[in-house]
Chain A
């Protein structure tokens, strides 16, 4: 029982980070219908920015927001200079639908190479601001540590902010409208191109946070070839897809579900099955609930 409870805590923490990555992927998908593999690269690059700022200032609480800004800027830059011209040119023909996907894969490769060039063999170190030693409950150390609590708090705060922005503000209404119907939005006076760039920027900030938290929750250091980031990208995608790819609520549900199931598998069956299990879950959801675990049949959720 105690062990199971600990496993749940570990799963929820990891899952909350996958949720952020899934949100990054869903936001880009909704605003431009692009499958954004570059999200992994944006998260990685912003995490490096975070480690550098942490090295200079010594403060995690300065490094995190600056990394988020860097992620937003890089993501908006990619949309504006690469995807926008590409999407303007490409049409509905099958081979052209692949263009943006290939482009984001290419950009992921470019970002990694640039990081390799800049950082070489040096790794970025992200010392967590809080202890990762578990709290003691009735004499036993549980999996919940100050650090895990901080991670959950940051993710929760971001989700509240995102929900408020999307549901309560004019910007949020523009973002939702532009993703549901670009044409009616333009006819209503929404500058859809600008709104799309903003959607990418928010996605970049979410991805940057996911990257920073993934690193603090994991090894505490990052390299241009970090395996933790490949996992983050893959699990983010799986979470987004099982959440229905259209919905932010779904992305969160998908991330948490995936995190918990993978933690249980890791605990009771060992690490060799984790990757396998992630894809089995993906395939199962696609077969049983193609609209995602919270998807509404035939409709899209705001």
Chain B
């Protein structure tokens, strides 16, 4: 269970989150939607330790996750796929994947995880020795998610995996995220501009507006909410 209470985050003089409270149960896929600048990325970066919180609290199970470094949080099962194609272009596909499991210091487990990722995204398997900058946008996103799966996370933080991808690829990526959540019992916080797509696969939805929560509820209810439809779904 992820419990976020009154989270306040500042970027210098700009307050990006004004006391956000969110509660997600284990195994749930939660979609966070909202316009540009709503604070979605800031929320994820704070949860993974990249940004500092000004106030409030956040816990994952018994673990207090504010004031920890990203490299320690990974060791506690929290993995963040950051905004943009979160891969290292100069490394090969294989190296990008291995990177995600280095901290486990276990080559056998790492090889096993790599096999699982390749089973999940066969297109990566055909390109293991290629440099990541030779991949298409969709393949890069698969690689980014694959890398974070190499850490065997329990809580997955995904920042706009659909960004810049063709509709068909977006559908594939969303389907993979849904499948992973269900089959591995992951808890997922999925940040998206593509509100309709995200709410279709999510269990619950959270609408962020200018750093505050505007609406929250089951994904189905949000999809039918006239105010949400008008503001974020465009019809």
Contacts and interface: CB of A to CB of B under 8 A. Distances in A.
B130 to A, nearest CB: 13
A180 B82 contact: no
Contacts, number: 73
A180 B88 contact: yes
Interface string B36-62: 000000000000101000000000000
Contacts of B89: 180, 299
A299 B100 contact: no
Given A170-B102, A174-B102, A187 B48 contact: yes
A189 B102 contact: yes
Interface in A255-297: none
Nearest to B87: A184
Contacts of A183: 50, 82
A133 interface: no
Interface in A169-195: 170, 173-174, 176-177, 180-181, 183-192
Given A187-B48, A188-B74, A302 B90 contact: yes
A180 B132 CA distance: 13
A184 B79 CA distance: 11
Contact of A302 (B48, B91, B105): B91
Given A183-B82, A189-B75, A177 B147 contact: no
Contact of B91 (A170, A177, A186, A190): A177
Pick from A184, A300, A302 the residue with the most CB of B within 10 Å. A184
Contacts of B74: 187-189
A300 B88 CA distance: 11
B180 interface: no
Given A183-B50, A183-B82, A299-B133, A188 B90 contact: no
B192 interface: no
A189 to B, nearest CB: 3
Nearest to A174: B102
Contacts of B69: 186
B71 A190 contact: yes
A186 B71 contact: yes
Contacts of A189: 71, 74-75, 100, 102-103, 151
B95 interface: yes
Q: Which interface class (under 10, 10 to 19, 20 to 34, 35 or more) fits B?
A: 20 to 34
Q: Which interface class (under 10, 10 to 19, 20 to 34, 35 or more) fits A?
A: 20 to 34
B86 interface: yes
A224 B150 CA distance: 51
Nearest to B69: A186
Contact of B88 (A170, A177, A186): A177
A176 B90 contact: yes
Contacts of B86: 184, 187
Contacts of A300: 90
Pick from B69, B70, B95, B147 the residue with the most CB of A within 10 Å. B70
B77 to A, nearest CB: 11
Contact of A176 (B79, B91, B133, B148): B91
A191 B102 contact: no
A173 B98 contact: yes
Contacts of A187: 48, 50, 70, 74, 79-82, 86, 148
A190 B88 CA distance: 13
B99 A186 contact: no
Contacts of A170: 98, 102, 105
Contacts of A185: 88, 99
A188 B99 contact: yes
Contacts of A191: 71
A187 B88 CA distance: 12
Contacts of A302: 90-91
Contacts of A174: 99, 102
Given A174-B102, A299-B133, A186 B90 contact: no
A250 to B, nearest CB: 14
Contacts of B95: 173, 176-177
Nearest to A176: B91
Contact of B70 (A176, A180, A186, A301): A186
A183 B81 CA distance: 11
Pick from B71, B87, B151 the residue with the most CB of A within 10 Å. B71
Interface of B: 48, 50, 69-71, 74-75, 79-82, 86-91, 95, 98-100, 102-103, 105, 133, 147-148, 151
21 contacts: A170-B98, A176-B90, A177-B88, A177-B91, A184-B82, A185-B88, A185-B99, A186-B50, A186-B70, A186-B71, A187-B50, A187-B70, A187-B74, A187-B86, A188-B100, A188-B103, A188-B148, A188-B151, A189-B100, A189-B102, A190-B71
Given A173-B91, A189-B102, 5 more contacts: A188-B100, A189-B103, A190-B103, A299-B89, A301-B90
List of 3 A-B pairs having minimum Cβ-Cβ separation, nearest first: A189-B103, A189-B74, A186-B70
